[in-house]
Amino acid sequence: MAGAEGDDSLYPIAVLIDELRNEDVQLRLNSIKKLSTIALALGVERTRTELLPFLTDTIYDEDEVLLALAEQLGSFTVLVGGPEFVHCLLPPLESLATVEETVVRDKAVESLRKISQEHSPVDLEVHFVPLVKRLASGDWFTSRTSACGLFGVCYPRVSIMTHTFESTLITAVMHFRTLCSDDTPMVRRAASSKLGEFAKVLELDYVKSDIIPLFTALASDEQDSVRLLAVEAGVSIAALLPQEDLEDLVMPTLRQAAEDKSWRVRYMVADKFSELQKAVGPEITKNDLVPAFQNLLKDCEAEVRTAAANKVKVFCESLPEDSRETIIMTHILPCVKELVSDTNQHVKSALASVIMGLSTILGKDNTVEHLLPLFLVQLKDEYPEVRLNIISNLDCVNEVIGIRQLSQSLLPAIVELAEDAKWRVRLAIIEYMPLLAGQLGVEFFDEKLNSLCMAWLIDHVYAIREAATCNLMKLVEKFGAEWAQNTIVPKVLGMANDSNYLHRMTTLFCINALSEVCGQEITTKHMLPVVLKMSTDQVANVRFNVARCLQKIGPVLDSSALQAEVKPVLEKLATDQDMDVKYFALEAISGMYLFNLPTYIFSETFSFSSILFFFFSFSLSP
């Protein structure tokens, strides 16, 4: 008995080991992903003593398998017996943290960070801190890179143990310092990107005495890839320091970064500008950041200007209120004006996506006087994306000055975008139609835009026709059923007689979308006859879309119309010679049965074999 039981309990691990050694990567991967099940089967004791050593030894696999393993181990605490034993997960994760492949390493570090929270302060000091030290002084750059990400998580909790805290901390800072001046740029990059996080867990005195020199050194590294990461660290550090220390400790370095000779560093400054602004407070913003921002907006590299242009609105919004308007009018706006006619489309497009937001900050008069001309210029820009970005943000202006001010220029811009050669541009403008229609009003719409909306219905790209259909629905939601009946329904139904079957199908798709918003009356009176008439179309695709359409509009119709008109047509379609038509007709019949015709399926006109056919095809369809 005992023997049999032993064999039984060995079985899962035997399977695992077997699969872990399988030649097929997929099988190995699957078995790793089932690791928690296997650990559960083994119990905590044997997971600790057998499974984990085994896993630690097999770390020579494909990166994909290792990645899965690294991820699994992060949530293994319960499976090894809870926080008390969590430290036995450290050896396999330590090996994984030295792997070359970055994704594996990062995942191992992520898991280590996760389980570090589950260590007790004592275990942290006894097991985790030595691991960080080992990694930090590893031979190959990979382990040192991984170590950088662990300082920030393990030291705050060690600090609870006051008797060793000082010495632990001092060695930690020492190790981090070594990593910051590592030989390989890879490690310096990692240190640079984790410096801010590490600074956050240290006491202010340490930040001032130890972190600032590291920051200054990294920010003037010989490699720009290191310098640019220091920018973010600078922002975090600035947020920690009291106002009076900022000027001396971080501003010189940050100023230097904003004028770095490498555009990548300047780009980073531009990209982090809002965070920086928040971290340094209003005074430094006024004195330092405003000129720096102006320079970034005028930078010689388009990449930097783009990043800065993206920040224009947020930067202006967060300026101190007392001087906001003056600063914008005298310092920022002149730069913005230049950017409007920038030579690079990405710059203009970035600006166009935020410039409208300035109107709420500047108020009505300034908007009309200063911003409106800029909007108008951008609305006429040669690049569709720029125009599109303006149009997509019209709602901000609408609140301040009303969109009418723009309508003269808006219309040509919309028309041009509506007919753009790239279908993605057309698609984008369609999506703004309901918004525009709401803001411009029904009259303007009928006069100027309605024909555009109808033209999209016969676009040669399906995605456009589809979006146009959806657009009609949203317009009807805005303008009401009566408007629909007078303006768009006749045109849509007219297309049912078009010689192109794609256009005839569009009619059906429109009806699908419109029936619910138009209501029962219009649907029954105007749409249904057209749909029914199309059931004799010579193209099978049209016929089966009739079936689908009938199913779709069924809930809107009353039961007498369903019985008297829809039912016979669907039954006829269910005997169609085309297989797909039959299929969809039967599906429609059963669909309606689910809705409101509980006895329908048993009616005598309906043959049993076609029900069978339906069930058969249903079970085949995915």
From CA 303, how far away is CA 300, in angstroms rounded?
A: 9
Q: Which of positions 3-62 make contact with other proteins (CB under 8 A)?
A: 62
- Of 22, 120, 171, 262, the residue at the interface with other proteins (CB under 8 A) is 262
The interface region with other proteins, picked from 129-137, 276-284, 294-302, 581-589 by CB under 8 A, is 294-302
Instruction: List the structure tokens of 116.
Output: 């570090």
- Residue 261 as a binder of other proteins (CB under 8 A): the answer is yes
| Sole binder of other proteins in the list 300, 460, 599, 621 (CB under 8 A) | 300
Residues 6+ apart with CB under 8 A from 476: 483, 484, 488, 514, 517, 518
Q: Which of 162, 343, 605, 619 binds other proteins (CB under 8 A)?
A: 343
Q: In the set 73, 116, 138, 141, which binds other proteins (CB under 8 A)?
A: 141
Work out how close the CB of 270 gets to other proteins at its nearest, in angstroms, rounded to a whole number. 13
Distance CA 351, CA 330 (A): 18
- Does position 365 interact with other proteins (CB under 8 A)? The reply is no
Piece of the chain touching other proteins by CB under 8 A; list 161-169, 256-264, 408-416, 491-499: 256-264
Contact predicate 12/51, CB 8 Å: no
Nearest CA-CA partner of 376 in 420, 411, 345, 416: 411
Identity of the residue, 258 or 457, whose beta carbon is nearer to other proteins in the bound complex = 258
Q: Does 100 bind other proteins (CB under 8 A)?
A: yes
Is residue 185 part of the contact set for other proteins (CB under 8 A)?
yes
Binding of other proteins by 222 (CB under 8 A): yes
Give 186 or 458: the residue with its C-beta nearer to other proteins: 186
Yes or no: say if 258 and 231 are a contact pair by the CB < 8 Å rule. Answer: no
Contact residue for other proteins among 19, 50, 110, 224 (CB under 8 A): 224
- Smallest distance from the beta carbon of 224 to other proteins, in angstroms? 7
Identify which range of 1-9, 41-49, 94-102, 200-208 contacts other proteins by CB under 8 A. 94-102
Q: Which of 394, 380, 298 is nearest to 347 (CA)?
A: 298
Please say which residue, 218 or 246, places its beta carbon nearer to other proteins: 218
**Closer residue to other proteins (CB): 261 or 460:** 261
CA-nearest of 74, 82, 145 to 114 is 74
Q: How far apart are CA 504 and CA 501, in angstroms?
A: 5
Residues 452-491 that bind other proteins (CB under 8 A): none
- Determine which residue in the list 101, 317, 446, 477 makes contact with other proteins, applying CB under 8 A: 101
Alpha helices (H) along 81-211: 90-96, 102-116, 121-123, 129-136, 141-148, 151-158, 162-180, 185-201, 204-206
Which of 417, 528 has the CB closer to other proteins?
A: 417
Which residue number, 175 or 348, has a Cβ lying nearer to other proteins? 348
Number of residues that bind other proteins (CB under 8 A): 25
Residues of this chain, 405-444, that bind other proteins according to CB under 8 A? none
The helix/strand count (H/E) of the chain reads as 45, 0
Q: What angle do CA 274, 275, 281 make, to 5 degrees?
A: 90
2 near other proteins, rule: CB under 8 A: no
In angstroms, give the least distance from the CB of 184 to other proteins.
Answer: 6
Q: How far apart are CA 536 and CA 621, in angstroms?
A: 26
State the minimum distance, in angstroms, from the CB of residue 104 to other proteins: 10
Beta carbon nearer to other proteins, 101 or 580: 101
Backbone φ and ψ of 143, nearest 5°? -70, -35
Between 260 and 537, name the residue whose CB sits nearer to other proteins. Answer: 260
Q: Taking the CA atoms of the chain, what radius of gyration do you get in angstroms?
A: 34
Determine the interface stretch with other proteins among 83-91, 219-227, 231-239, 312-320 (rule: CB under 8 A): 219-227
Q: How far apart are CA 158 and CA 175, in angstroms?
A: 16
- Does the footprint of other proteins cover residue 602 (CB under 8 A)? no
Q: What gap in Å lies between CA 20 and CA 14, rounded to an integer?
A: 10
101/99 Cα distance (integer angstroms):
6
Find the binder of other proteins among 50, 110, 301, 395 (CB under 8 A): 301
Which of 494, 489, 465 lies closest to 475, judged by CA?
489
Smallest gap from Cβ 620 to other proteins, in A, equals 24
Nearer to other proteins, 302 or 589 (CB): 302
All residues at 6 or more sequence positions from 88 whose CB lies less than 8 Å from its CB, including other chains: 48, 52, 80
Kindly state whether residue 338 participates in binding other proteins, applying the rule CB under 8 A.
no
| Contact of 558 with 520, CB cutoff 8 Å | yes
Q: Does 571 bind other proteins (CB under 8 A)?
A: no
Minimum CB separation of residue 127 from other proteins in Å reads 28
The whole-angstrom separation of Cα 33 and Cα 62 is 14
For position 186 contacting other proteins by CB under 8 A, the verdict is yes
Among 22, 178, 216, 344, binds other proteins (CB under 8 A): 344
| Contact range with other proteins by CB under 8 A, out of 117-125, 296-304, 403-411, 533-541 | 296-304
For other proteins, the closer CB: 304 or 356: 304
Contacting residue, 303, 317, 446, 516, with other proteins by CB under 8 A:
303
Q: Which of 9, 75, 102, 326 binds other proteins (CB under 8 A)?
A: 102
Residues 6+ apart with CB under 8 A from 186: 141, 145
Candidate ranges 89-97, 295-303, 372-380, 457-465; the one touching other proteins (CB under 8 A): 295-303
Using CB under 8 A, which of the segments 120-128, 130-138, 337-345, 423-431 binds other proteins?
337-345
Q: Which class for 341: exposed (0-12), middle (13-18), buried (19 or more C-beta within 10 A)?
A: exposed
Q: Output the DSSP codes for 145-183.
A: HHHHTTHHHHHHHHTTSHHHHHHHHHHHHHHHHHHHT-S
For the CB of residue 147, give the shortest distance to other proteins in the complex, in Å: 16
Q: Please choose, from the candidates 410, 407, 516, the residue with its C-alpha nearest in 3D space to the C-alpha of residue 472.
A: 516
Binding status of residue 399 toward other proteins by CB under 8 A: no
- Out of 171, 225, 450, 590, the residue judged to bind other proteins by CB under 8 A: 225
Residue from 37, 75, 184, 596 in contact with other proteins (CB under 8 A) = 184
Burial state string for 5-38 with b = 16 or more CB within 10 A and e = fewer than 16: eeeeeeebbeebbebbeeeeeeebbebbebbeeb
Q: Closer CB to other proteins, residue 163 or residue 261?
A: 261
- CB burial class (10 A; 0-12, 13-18, 19+) of residue 322? exposed
Residues that bind other proteins (CB under 8 A): 62, 100-102, 140-141, 183-186, 189, 222, 224-225, 261-264, 300-303, 343-345
